[in-house]
Amino acid sequence: MSLEKNQLRTFYKSLRAALTDEELERKSLEIRDNVIAFLSERKELTHFHLFFPIPKQREVNTYPIKNYLENKGCAIYTSRVGSDSLALQTLFLKHDTEFQFDSWGIPVPLDFDLVNNESIQAVFVPLLAFDQKGNRIGFGKGYYDVFLASLDPSVLKIGLSFFSPEVSIPSELHDVPLDYCITTESVIIF
């Protein structure tokens, strides 16, 4: 992993940490509104994989997106770490399920079915930073790169970000680029 990636990771973690709770919620709702506008032009999409925010990481609050998708009758999936080192298991969420935190502070649904990922049409991808080509930096464990690589190539990979893109981020062969990134201000197409 490059020094530049680690520096960017540290920088964006500090930017997130500087957000007040009110700013984080306002920005999350702005992203939700842009997700709604994005999906209004893509009514064929009905099966979504969604990450849920780790509070200590100050991630985008995706529960408002979940509520919107549920109200539209969409199928919602998420993941949890499986027994394999980098493999994520796909979970189909039951409507209005509650969540509990696992040992890493990741919200995990209490009511779900363990399924394969063949029905997923779009994945909302967590990230710390992204660039103008769709490369992204996550937390460095590689879970999402392995997961995204396992999906059909037609599945849309959609980042959610509080911040604008960098010009360029170093990428490695195993990195899976985004198709779109939705920010507080716009939808960026790669």
Task: Specify binding-site residues.
Answer: 5-9, 59, 136-144
Dihedral angle over CA of 131, 136, 140, 142, nearest 10: -160
Q: Which residue has the tokens 């973690």?
A: 13
Binding residues for substrate are: 59
Instruction: Give the separation between CA 185 and CA 49, rounded to whole angstroms.
Output: 22
Contact (CB, 8 A) for 132 and 97: no
Instruction: Give the separation between CA 178 and CA 67, rounded to whole angstroms.
Output: 24
Binding residues for ATP are: 5-9, 136-144
Cα–Cα–Cα angle for 94, 30, 183, nearest 5°?
A: 95
